[in-house]
Structure 1
Amino acid sequence: MSTHRITGAAMVAGIAGNPVAHSLSPVIHNAWLAAGDIDGAYVPFAPADAAGFEALVAAGRAGLIMGLNVTAPFKEQAFALADEATAAARLTSSANILQFEAGRVLADSSDGMGLMLGLKEQAPTLNVSGRPVVMLGAGGAARAGSGALVEAGAEVRIINRSPERAQVLAADLGGAVQVMSASEAFDGAALVINALSVPPQIDFNRIAPGTVMMDMTYKPLATPFLTAARERGLPTVDGLAMLIGQAAPSFQALYRRPPPPLDLRALLLSHLGETP
């Protein structure tokens, strides 16, 4: 039986998205709150539309909540509503963290950091500096991940069903990002990242041996994309590593303190019913 108690002085934060029921963020942050015996709660919010999300941010300005993690489809709106933004958020014009303080809103993005920490954990020998990286997709997570990769010195190649959206991303991030076709993007790639919500259709014959394959999706943990890569002997990085990587900066921002020690991967694997 849990001994974690919440009082009238509890610090309240949460995650906003639609849909949001699938998110593991409440599992992570409430486990940290319990492990640290911190008087707080982390709850999901599912605004129906942009107006609903704006109302939620207004509640933060009014002091009702301390902060929010933000997921699709509200990351770009979160950035637009903020009074201040970190360099990471400005780089991608999106935010997955909103911190409320004295009626003001600070936007940050830990998605890029999460991606790089996930790579460091599961592909520690990979060096992307000066090397091509293929990003499948051009949404908010792809934007944040591409920004972090550019900062790390990578040459990012975007493949997206809608070239127009990909061109906007490339224009925002500068000359190190190009929109390319699948027929040429994989040539010489050190890393391929799936940032799509559906399994991508790619020709694995174009993928060179040793290329690291990463999927931002973590449900299921062994996605069809990663399973196909492993069947071909390619090194892989799963979406859980990225999620864990971005969680600690979120907790620090939302609760104004570092998270207590906890084996998050073991906790999440158990929650998902996955084997280590």
Structure 2
Amino acid sequence: MSELPFAEVIGDPIGHSKSPTIHKFWLDRAGLAADYRAAHVKPEDLWIYFEERRRDPAWRGCNVTIPHKQAVMKLIDRIDPAAERIGAVNTVVPEHGELVGYNTDYAGFLEPIQPLLAQQHLFRMARVFGTGGAAKAVVLALHDHGFTIVIAARDLAKARSLREAFEPDERLIAPIEIFAHPTDFPFDDREGILDLVVNTTSLGMSGQPPLALDFSHVPPNAVIYDIVYAPLETPLLAEAKRRGLRTIDGLHMLIGQAAAAFERFFGRPAPRDADDALRALLVG
């Protein structure tokens, strides 16, 4: 057992995770005598992992990545209501003798758009691409902040299931392929309207084809948010910038969700005074 307090990230595979870089950066800046590491945990070993960590007084918790975000829910003692609603846990911490599961993707996604959400709007609309692991946290966060949401997906059954989690509406799901082709839809006056386009798929990630989106489907002055962070500027964001639209890259959500977890692990807010240096470290 470790004498130094530590947290970690678990997954299978795990070598790609940027969580150790983020948390060690903050631990150094905060001057905390603690560690953060990565642990390769296979699905069949997940229950053994938690049984061992329960007995380690130095363990402060773990982040959970693919493919364990749902499987861990059956192995812990209590699940935060927000994580229960999302249906996935990405952070587990020991609290008063129990293992408690949280989901920090919700808060992490919202963090970079908080200045927009603080404004008054006549109407808020989001076009969300994808139905995967992060999509439910994203759509629930947007729904809770007054957005009307269109879900674009390859599998309409999954889109339907996702909408049922907050507001069933067959009119607000669409095949993702439709958005690859031009439309002559005449957008009305968007004054006072907040339009958001969000990619939650892996399309545009290194080694993957780009998201096929014809920008005739994108309202004027929309904000384009891509949760992919490798590469930092996806083809979607590059094209949006070329058209003069506001963009948000995936590192914002990654750092935001990590900050929420850091505070649970180590009992103090993450030192956010050097986010630019952290971003440079992550993309360097």
Amino acid across the alignment from 1:202: L
- Aligned ranges 1:1-276 → 2 under 5 Å: 9-48=3-42, 50-63=43-56, 65-101=59-95, 103-120=97-114, 130-175=123-168, 178-182=172-176, 183=178, 190-199=195-204, 200-273=211-284
Give the superposition deviation at 1:82. 2.8
Q: Moved runs in structure 1, 4+ residues, more than 6 A?
A: 124-129, 186-189
- Say whether the 8 Å CA contact 1:16–1:71 is kept in structure 2: yes
Question: 3-state SS of the aligned residue for 2:70?
Answer: helix
Q: Give the corresponding residue for 2:208.
A: none
Distance verdict in 2 for CA 1:218–1:127, change over 3 Å: farther
Structure 1: which 5+ residue stretches go unaligned?
A: 1-6
Q: TM-score, normalised by structure 1?
A: 0.85
What amino acid maps onto 2:148 in structure 1?
A: E
Secondary structure of 1:173's aligned partner = coil
Cα drift, residue 245 of structure 1: 1.5
**What root-mean-square deviation, in Å, do the aligned CA atoms of Structure 1 and Structure 2 show?**
2.7
Q: By how many angstroms is 1:234 displaced? A: 1.6
In the aligned structure 1, how far is the partner of 2:272 from the partner of 2:200? 29
The Cα shift of 1:46 comes to 2.4
Over 3 Å counting, the alpha-carbon distance change for 1:203 and 1:242 in structure 2 is same
Letter in 2 for 1:157: V
Query: Per the alignment, do residues 32 and 231 of structure 1 end up closer, same or farther by CA in structure 2, a change over 3 Å counting?
Result: same
Gaps of 5+ in 2: 188-193, 205-210
Contact 1:14 1:44 (8 Å CA) reproduced: yes
Distance (Å, rounded) in 1 between the aligned partners of 2:234 and 2:78? 37
Identical amino acids, percent of aligned pairs: 30
TM-score by length of 2: 0.83
1:154 CA displacement: 1.1
How many angstroms does 1:103 deviate by? 4.5
| CA-CA distance at 1:31 after TM superposition | 1.3
Equivalent pair of 1:128/1:154 in contact (CA under 8 Å)? no
Number of residues paired by the alignment?
265
